[in-house]
Structures are given as C-alpha cells and as structure tokens.
Amino acid sequence: MLKRATGWSVLLVTIFLCSACATTPTRPSEPGFAERYHAYQALAQAGHESFQKHDYRASIDQYTQAIALSPFVPADHYYRGLAWFKSGNNEKAIEDFDRVLLLDARWAPAYLYRGLAHLNRGEEAEALGDDIAALNLNTKDPAVHNNLAWLYATAKDEKVRDKVKALEHAKQAAALSKEGNAEILDTLATAYAINGKIREAVEAERKAIQREPKDQGFKTRLAAYEKALQENEIKQAAAGMQSNTK
C-alpha cells in the first residue's frame, strides 16, 4: 500500500520526465554552455538509471550533481525525493517533494509520496492534507484511495480517523484496481473489519493472500478475522438457543 512504507507494494507512479529532451543549441550563448548542458543530461540520466536499479545512494548523488547544474527541473527533485524516501530519510524526501510542488503544484505523485513521508513521521494531519490534494488532482488513482483508506482506518489522531470514509475509499481503490492488488485488498479487509463487517473482511483478506501467498502479515490478519467470525457465529447461535427456550 502505497499505504505503508513497509512492504507496500507502495504502487510506484513512474513519470520519468526526461529533462534531457531539449534541443542542444547550435550556438552556445556563452563559452562552456554546451559542455555544462551535456554534463547535466548525463547526470540526470545516470540518476534515473541508478534509481531503476534500486541503487538509491548513487541516484541521490547523481541527481544532486544534476540539480547543482540545473535546479529548476521538477523531475530531478521528484526522483531524488523518491530515492531519499526509499532510503528511509523522510525529512530529506519531504524537502525534495516541497521543491517539486513549488515548481509544479499539480504534480500529484509528489503529494502522494510526501503524504507517505509525513505518515512515516507520525504527522497524520499533514499526510491527510497531501492525500486529499493528490485525490483532487487524480480521482481515479487507486493508490490515492488506498492511502486515504489506510490513513482513515489506522490513524491514532481521532480528528483524522474515520471508519466510514476508510471503507468508502477502500472500496473505490479495490474497484479501480479491479481487485488485482494484494495490498489494496488487505486495506479493504481492514476497513471492513473496523466497520464490523467481519465476513467481508475474511473474504477480502483471502483474496489478498491468493495474490500474495507468502505475505505473513496477511495470514496473521486473516487468522484474526476468522477467529472473530467464529466467535460471532457462536454468540449468535447461543443467543438463538436462548431465544428458543423462552
């Protein structure tokens, strides 16, 4: 889930806007302009390639050098922010996502990942604000609905927690993803459970496990839901028996 930085299968939105697409000027306006431009191109490309290889330390270093040469390209700050996020440095990630949104306020994935970074820092209100901003820019993104559902379902802050909205967004995420993502189905199961719909929670968690059969967290939650469902059925049966004896 994109919802959690641990194992989320967090659903990565790849929007590599290669800033190296501009046409090289045939007559540089000043000595060394072309050399600096080509150096920037090479560093930005190297940073993206390192990111794709999950070499986040190298990616950060290469993007930092590229940004020093050309600091106003949103994609460079975005991918360096993602590399910081993947490396566990949420503070640095937030700084880069702030820069992305200063340069382009409609960059929805920057809101999405800044929200996750805030959530990792326990800043639930800030995370909610970013998730809502991302949703306003793209209402059809299942990752955004999934993040909102998870936040509404698990927030410690009572002002943020909302079990009704959690289920609403979890259902939206599942529908938009055509129930093809295990983490989204796990979120849906959680949302059903906190709303007292235990049978539905069991069904959703079983679907999640079908897609990710090795995930121990899914299995643990399924066992808890199945136990709760069994206990509910025993209580209902006992209540029925008492009613019949009256």
Q: What is the pLDDT of residue 13?
A: 41
The type of residue at 88 is G
Query: Percentage of the chain with pLDDT > 70?
Result: 83
If you average pLDDT over residues 138-145, what whole number do you get? Answer: 97
d(CA 25, CA 204): 56
Residue 49 Cα distances to 18, 41, 81, 117, 127, angstroms: 11, 12, 15, 23, 29
User: 26-40, 107-121, 208-222: which range is least confident on average?
Assistant: 26-40
**Block residue for tokens 């800044």:** 114
| Predicted local confidence at residue 245, as pLDDT | 59
What are phi and psi for residue 27, nearest 5 degrees? Answer: -125, 95
Any idea which of 92-106, 165-179, 200-214, 230-244 has the lowest mean pLDDT?
230-244
Average pLDDT (225-236) is 87
- 11, pLDDT greater than 70: no
Nearest Cα residue to 46 out of 24, 33, 61, 68: 61
- Say what the pTM is: 0.82
Q: What digits encode the pLDDT tens for the residues 72-95? A: 999 999 999 999 999 999 999 999
Amino acid letter, residue 203: E
Map residue 138 onto helix, strand or coil.
coil
Length of the chain as a residue count: 246
The candidate with the shortest Cα–Cα distance to 130, out of 81, 83, 164, is: 81
Contact by Cβ (8 Å): 149, 173: yes
The pLDDT, as a whole number, for residue 234 is 81
Average pLDDT value over all residues in the chain = 89
Overall average pLDDT of the 16-43 stretch: 68
Contacts of 180 (CB under 8 A, 6+ apart): 211
| pLDDT beyond 90 at 20 | no
Query: Which one has a higher pLDDT value, 230 or 19?
Result: 230
Query: Does residue 227 register a pLDDT over 50?
Result: yes
Residue with tokens 């093809």: 180
The contacts of residue 88 (CB under 8 Å, 6+ apart) are: none
